[in-house]
Amino acid sequence: MKKNYIITKYDYFIVVRFTESPSCDDIISAVDDAVLLDDSGRRMWVLEKGLDLSPDDLQIAASAGKAKLKRPSKMAVVATEDLSFGLSRVFEFFRYQDGVESRVFRNEEEALVWLNKPFEHDDT
């Protein structure tokens, strides 16, 4: 399968950047690759070309993330287009899991500021 995403590892987080609108299988594949690359618990998912999945596909992708990504963790989704932003919020609902903080943003700068903050349950 041709990958339409690039994963970049930084000091305290990773960025998964989709270069095309991802399918459900693309998201699941990116989750698998992200887990192998880094276990920092902080990730930013960038939807450069939007998101257009059915609610069923969003739920399947969210379930894959729940099964594979560690807790505690923080996940920022960057979706600039209105439809992608709304669908990302639906994904955020399906992805809810104790110990996992997630939030959808319109731009990468705001997402990075949020990712850099301590986990909500931290005592710091």
Report pLDDT digits (tens) over 44-103: 999 999 999 999 999 999 999 888 876 688 999 999 999 999 999 999 999 999 889 999
pLDDT value at position 121? 59
For the chain, give me the number of helices (H) and strands (E)? 4, 5
Parse the chain into domains and list their residue ranges: 5-116
* C-alpha closest to that of 4 among 31, 35, 27: 27
> In the CATH scheme, what is the code of domain 5-116?
3.30.750.24
* C-alpha closest to that of 47 among 100, 94, 3, 107: 107
pTM value is 0.90
